[in-house]
Amino acid sequence: MKMWDGRFQESTDALVEEFNASIGFDYKLAQYDIQGSMAHAKMLAKCGIITTEDSQKIIKGLEEILAEVEAGEFEFTVELEDIHMNIEKRLTDKIGAVGGKLHTARSRNDQVALDVRLYLRDQIEQIKGLVKQLQEVLLELAEENIDIIMPGYTHLQRAQPIRLAHHLLAYQQKLKRDYDRLVDCYKRVNILPLGSGALAGTKFPIDREFVAKELGFAGVSQNSLDAVSDRDFVIEFLAAASTMMMHLSRFSEELIIWTSSEFDFVEISDSFCTGSSIMPQKKNPDIPELIRGKTGRVYGNLMQLLVTMKGLPLAYNKDMQEDKEGLFDTVDTVKKSLEIFARMMAKTKFKADKMKASTEGGFVNATDVADYLVDKDIPFREAHEIVGKSVFYCIEHNKKLSELTMEEWQGFSEVFSDDIYHAIAIETCVDARNTIGGPARAEIERVIKQEKEALN
Ligand code: ARG
C-alpha cells in the first residue's frame, strides 16, 4: 500500500522503489521530523483544525516513536520511501486512523525543508563549538611557544622573521572568520518554512508564528513558493564549510612540509602518524594529508548541490532529494576534521632551534637593513638597491649579513655604523615590528589576551 494508491493502477517497479527512496540516508532526520510533527500537531489543535484529544494521541505516539528511534529499535523500510512516510506509517500503526490527521495542512515539501533546517541548526551549533575548541588550542600553543622565532615566507621563500605564535594566530584569525560565517549562515537557516504546503500554502487557519515559536525559529518564511524551493541555506553552509576546510587544508599542507627532513620544524605525535609497510624509517603525516584530501570532497559536495539546483523550475522537484547526502557527508567530515586537528595540534612539538636556525640563513633581515638606511635619511628605493648589492656580495662571499665587517658595510654606504649589528639581530627585527597585528612579542601577547577573552 502506498499513500498515493488512490490515483495509481500499477504498483511501483522494484528497481524504482529502491532508486526513488531516500530513507537510506534521510533516516538521519528522524528526530527532527518528529520534533517538527509534534509542533505541527500542537498547532493544529490550538487552531481548532483537529481536536485536542487527537492531537494528544498523535503527540504521545510520536514520543513513543522517538524513543524507538533513540533506542535504535525503529525499523526503516525502503517501501515507505523516506523518513516522513516511515514515521507517519508507524504512527498510524500505533494509534490508528487518527494518525492520518497529522499531515493536515502540510506537505512533504515544507516538511522536508523544515527537517533539514532543524538538522542544520543543530549541526551548526556543534560545529561552532568545535571551531572554538580549535581556536583555544591554537591560542594555548601560541602562548606556550611565544619565544620561538621562525622565518615567515612568501612564495615559500624565506622572507622576514616572525614568531611561531604569529603564524598560529594567523590560523586562529581565519577560524574566527569561519565561526562568524557559521553564525551568519545560521540566521538564514533559522527561518520556519512549515506552513508553505506543497507550494501554495494552505486554506486551513494555521498559526505559523506559533509553530516558529515552538521550534525556536527567529522568523517565518514570507513566500511559500520560495520556502519549498529554497536550498540556499544548505549551499551557504556548504560554502562556509568549504572555506573552513580550505583553511585546515592549508595548515595541513604546512605541517606536512614542516615535518619533512628538509624543514624539520615540527614533530607530529606518533598517535597521529602511520608507518610504512616496507620502509622501516618512515613516519608519515597521514592525518594532515587526509584532512587536505577530504577538503576536495567537501568542495565536491558544494559543487554538486550548486549544479543540482541551477536548472530547477519552482517549486519542489525530486532532484532536490539529492541535497542531503552531500550535506550529511560534509557535516560529518567537518566535525571529524576539526576535532582531530585540534587533538593533533595539542600534541604537536615545535622545534625551536631548527626554526631559529632557519632565520639565520636566507637574508630574512635584509628589509631591516633597508629600514636602517631609511632611518639615516636614505630614500627607501635607494636603500633597497644598496641592500640588494650587499646581499649579492654576501652570496658571492658565502657570508650572512650579520657577518659583514664594518669595512664591508662602509663599502656599500658610508652611513653604516656599529649600530647596524643590533638593528639586524633577528630578535630586534621581530620585536621592532610592533604595529597592530605585527609579530612583536608585546603585540602577540596583546592579541592572545584579546582573543582568549573574546572566546569566553
Ligand atoms: N524525500 C523527499 C526529499 O528528500 C521528501 C520530499 C518529497 N516530496 C515530494 N513531492 N516527492 O526531498
- How many angstroms separate the alpha carbon of residue 308 from the centre of ligand 1? 15
Cβ of 82 below 6 Å from ligand 1: yes
- How many angstroms separate the alpha carbon of residue 276 from the centre of ligand 1? 47
Banded model confidence at residue 280, pLDDT cuts 50, 70, 90 = confident
ipTM of the modeled complex: 0.97
CA-to-CA separations, 271 to 48, 279, 291, 343, 350, in angstroms, rounded: 61, 19, 16, 10, 16
Q: Could you tell me if residue 72 is left (phi over 0), alpha (psi between -120 and 50 degrees) or otherwise beta?
A: left
Mean pLDDT, residues 268-275 taken together: 86
The yes-or-no verdict on residue 36 having pLDDT over 80 is: yes
Of 37, 82, 87, 115, the residue with max ligand 1 atoms within 8 A of its CB, to mutate for a pocket test, comes to 82
Which residue minimizes the CA distance to atom 4 of ligand 1? 321
Of 112, 314, 323, 324, the residue with max ligand 1 atoms within 8 A of its CB, to mutate for a pocket test, comes to 112
What is the C-alpha separation between 328 and 92, in angstroms, rounded? Answer: 29
Residue 276 among the catalytic residues = yes
The per-residue pLDDT for 3 is: 77
Could you say which of 155, 261, 271, 277 is catalytic?
Answer: 155
Angle (deg, nearest 10), helices 380-397 and 366-375: 140
What is the C-alpha separation between 61 and 206, in angstroms, rounded? Answer: 22
Could you say which of 11, 276, 402, 417 is catalytic?
Answer: 276
- How many angstroms separate the alpha carbon of residue 401 from the centre of ligand 1? 69
- How many angstroms separate the alpha carbon of residue 56 from the centre of ligand 1? 27
CA-to-CA separations, 421 to 415, 428, 434, in angstroms, rounded: 13, 10, 20
Of 17, 309, 318, 322, the residue with max ligand 1 atoms within 8 A of its CB, to mutate for a pocket test, comes to 318
Is the Cβ–Cβ distance between 338 and 248 less than 8 Å?
Answer: yes
Banded model confidence at residue 129, pLDDT cuts 50, 70, 90 = very high
Which residue minimizes the CA distance to atom 3 of ligand 1? 321
Cβ of 112 below 6 Å from ligand 1: yes
- Quick: pLDDT tens for 376-422: 999 999 999 999 999 999 999 999 999 999 999 999 999 999 999 99
Of 18, 20, 22, 80, the residue with max ligand 1 atoms within 8 A of its CB, to mutate for a pocket test, comes to 22
The per-residue pLDDT for 8 is: 86
What is the C-alpha separation between 350 and 337, in angstroms, rounded? Answer: 21
Cβ of 308 below 6 Å from ligand 1: no
- Across 237-241, 275-279, 426-430, the highest mean pLDDT is recorded for 237-241
Structural domains of the chain, with CATH? 5-104 (1.10.275.10), 109-352 (1.20.200.10), 358-455 (1.10.40.30)
Dihedral over Cα of 21, 26, 27, 30: its sign: negative
3-state secondary structure the chain: CCCCHHHCCCCCCHHHHHHHCCHHHHHHHHHHHHHHHHHHHHHHHHCCCCCHHHHHHHHHHHHHHHHHHHCCCCCCCHHHCCHHHHHHHHHHHHHHHHHHHCCCCCCHHHHHHHHHHHHHHHHHHHHHHHHHHHHHHHHHHHHHCCCCEEEEEECCEEEEEEEHHHHHHHHHHHHHHHHHHHHHHHHHHCEECCCCCCCCCCCCCCCHHHHHHHHCCCEECCCHHHHHHCCHHHHHHHHHHHHHHHHHHHHHHHHHHHHCCCCCCEECCHHHCECCCCCCCCCECHHHHHHHHHHHHHHHHHHHHHHHHCCCCCCCCHHHHHHHHHHHHHHHHHHHHHHHHHHHHHCCEECHHHHHHHHHCCCCCHHHHHHHHHHCCCCHHHHHHHHHHHHHHHHHHCCCHHHCCHHHHHHHCCCCCCCHHHHCCHHHHHHCCCCCCCCCHHHHHHHHHHHHHHHC
The yes-or-no verdict on residue 271 having pLDDT over 90 is: no
The yes-or-no verdict on residue 298 having pLDDT over 90 is: yes
- How many angstroms separate the alpha carbon of residue 18 from the centre of ligand 1? 14
Cβ of 316 below 6 Å from ligand 1: yes
Residue 337 among the catalytic residues = no
- How many angstroms separate the alpha carbon of residue 103 from the centre of ligand 1? 14
Banded model confidence at residue 439, pLDDT cuts 50, 70, 90 = very high
Cβ of 345 below 6 Å from ligand 1: no
Which residue minimizes the CA distance to atom 10 of ligand 1? 109
The yes-or-no verdict on residue 5 having pLDDT over 90 is: no
Cβ of 416 below 6 Å from ligand 1: no
- How many angstroms separate the alpha carbon of residue 199 from the centre of ligand 1? 13
- Quick: pLDDT tens for 331-386: 999 999 999 999 999 999 999 999 999 998 889 999 999 999 999 999 999 999 99
Residue in 285, 283, 284, 290 with CA at minimum distance from that of residue 249: 290
Largest CA distance in the chain: 101
Is the Cβ–Cβ distance between 104 and 41 less than 8 Å?
Answer: no
What is the C-alpha separation between 393 and 401, in angstroms, rounded? Answer: 9
